[in-house]
Amino acid sequence: MKDQKSAITQDIERFKEMAKSKGKNKNEKKPQVIVVGRSNVGKSTLVRLITKKNVRVGKKPGVTLKINKYDMGNYILVDLPGFGFMTGLDEKVQDKIKDEIIRYIEDNKKYIASSIILIDAKAFPEIVNRWDKRDEIPIDIEMFDFLNELELNPIIVINKMDKIKKNNWDAHLDKIVEIFGYPAPWRQWLDMIVVGVLKEGIGLKEVLNKINKNVNAYNSKNKKL
């Protein structure tokens, strides 16, 4: 356990250095698309599908703090560490990881053309309910509001919809958009929502379309400046 915590502490320090070292190579001039979400919601699967690279996909929540960047040609895909519960880590360490993720986003906001936040369709309402009982705001909601406040064009990917019975999809998705502060029906928010089963590739096309739209808008805006 001590060795694990020591490794996490070292990763956090490396994370801090990476967050500081922006603008040091030509790729940093490209717009960024960041991927955030709790551990074990399908972030690695999405990144693997977008990059077509062999991204490690695990069944258990991860504990390694690392930023992975992928040059996609017209933008840089940035896979940020998972936040929330992580096996073997106390809340103080989890909070520190979240704080470093937020710091990275704040420091790089002018380069970020779009952001993607993933949630687990079945687990998300259950997590929110637990936090509500403690009279607290879930980190997922805080992160979405933060991305919105910075105008980073957040895309909500509602993954693992195969865990929800098909005839309950509309009601379930209505509940999720309402949790994020938007009125039902959910279909009116398709400009920022993607419904997916990423392990089967469902939803990837919609994610890519939204990324390209936001990157093109970012480039057009910055050409005028």
Average pLDDT per run of 10 along the chain, which is 225 residues long?
54 54 59 94 95 67 72 97 66 76 95 98 95 92 96 98 97 98 98 97 98 97 77
Q: What is the pLDDT of residue 114?
A: 98
In DSSP terms, 159 is beta-bridged to 120
From first CA to last CA, the distance across the chain in angstroms is 51
What pLDDT is stored for residue 39 in this prediction? 85
pLDDT computed for residue 146 by the predictor: 96
CB 87 within 8 Å of CB 61: yes
Contacts of 122 (CB under 8 A, 6+ apart): 160, 163, 164
CA 43 and chain centroid, separation: 7
What is the model's pLDDT at position 87?
52
Torsions phi, psi of 82, nearest 5? Answer: -70, 145
pLDDT at 28: 63
Retrieve residue 197's tokens.
Answer: 């089963």
Phi, psi angles (nearest 5°) of residue 187: -65, -20
pLDDT value at residue 85: 57
Alpha-carbon separation of residue 130 from 118, 139, 189 (angstroms): 19, 12, 26
| In contact, 120 and 147? CB cutoff 8 Å | no
Sheet holding 112-120, edge to edge: 68-71, 76-79, 32-37, 112-120, 154-159, 193-195
Phi-psi region of 66 (alpha: psi -120 to 50; beta: other; left: phi over 0): beta
* Alpha helices (H) in the chain, listed in sequence order: 2-20, 43-51, 91-108, 123-133, 139-149, 169-179, 204-223
Q: What is the pTM for the complete model shown?
A: 0.85
